[in-house]
Structure 1
Amino acid sequence: MLIFAAVNVIIMVALAWLKAAPSNPGALQVTARPLMTPIERQTILFIETAMPGTRVHAQVSMGALLQPRRGLDRSSYFSTLNRFNSKRVDFIVEDRATGRVLLIVELDDKTHDARADAARDHMTARAGYVTVRLPAGCRPTAQNVRERIAHALQTHPEISRLPAGGSRQTRIN
């Protein structure tokens, strides 16, 4: 009986310590990290130039863009949520007037896995998003970013129609 009581006390002290530890910010060993790499900072400028009148966001959580569909049981809901919730997309292009996401832009590098990228693109496409990929091995330039976005707009004309006016087109310079 005495052993049982001692084990309970040890467990309670350990749980109290674990619960208190995260609330002490001084105990966390963290440093600042840049939001974007130099190439990402350059690429965002190319996207903004290619799509004037839009707002471009960097490093957006897929959890901000996707949610499991309604009606799933608890297990399916969390299984679906866990597939994307902690992932990010490089850039989203948003219609300033409506907040509608027009494009997802991914800046691929040599570490990207084509199969995993295709699965992500399929998942975002199921939610109605179009992804433009800037491939590894082809350093982004104003011209090739503009060309890839123009191709996406031609392939998906519904993207370029801004909902507010119905007939306005997003310009590509």
Structure 2
Amino acid sequence: MRTAFLVAPEGVEQIELTSPWQALSQTGETPQLVSTKPGRIQAFDHLDKADTFPVDTTADQVTADDFDLLVLPGGVANPDFLRLSRAAVGFVKGFFDAGKPVAAICHAPWTLIEADVVRGRTLTSWPSLQTDIRNAGGTWVDQQVSVDRNGPNTLITSRKPADLPAFDEAVLREVGAMT
């Protein structure tokens, strides 16, 4: 299974990138880091700069057809930058149009809102996004993980870094790595 992690050139919460990446890598997956610009991305530990990571490809060079799963890490700035990129938003929308699973954590549902794919869906996020999700036609729930199978694809969402073990487990279940 080919997995894409979509992140902006800066602003991704490092643990929300590395934890699901490591979980998928342990199953034999080789995730790909997709961004809006080539080079390296700057991760953050909340508001402090953390590590940098090499970009494998850019959102304008690939489509959802190239992957089986999309993971959207959070961080406050990351999804805000992504929702300003037509290529990034189109890449996300492509997964929904193709019926492929998407996993998003923390502030990442902002990108889902911009792609207009939350209407009629149940999801969770960082609590400050609940009004945005409701205004976009979604139902917000306050739980570690929400797995919504009511749309064209499975949508896995989680609230925050503390929920990563449950988020990673839900993603692994979706790809069949856990029973």
User: Normalised by the size of structure 2, how large is the TM-score?
Assistant: 0.36
**Higher relative strand content:** 2
Structure exhibiting the larger radius of gyration computed from Cα positions: 1
Q: TM-score, normalised by structure 1?
A: 0.36
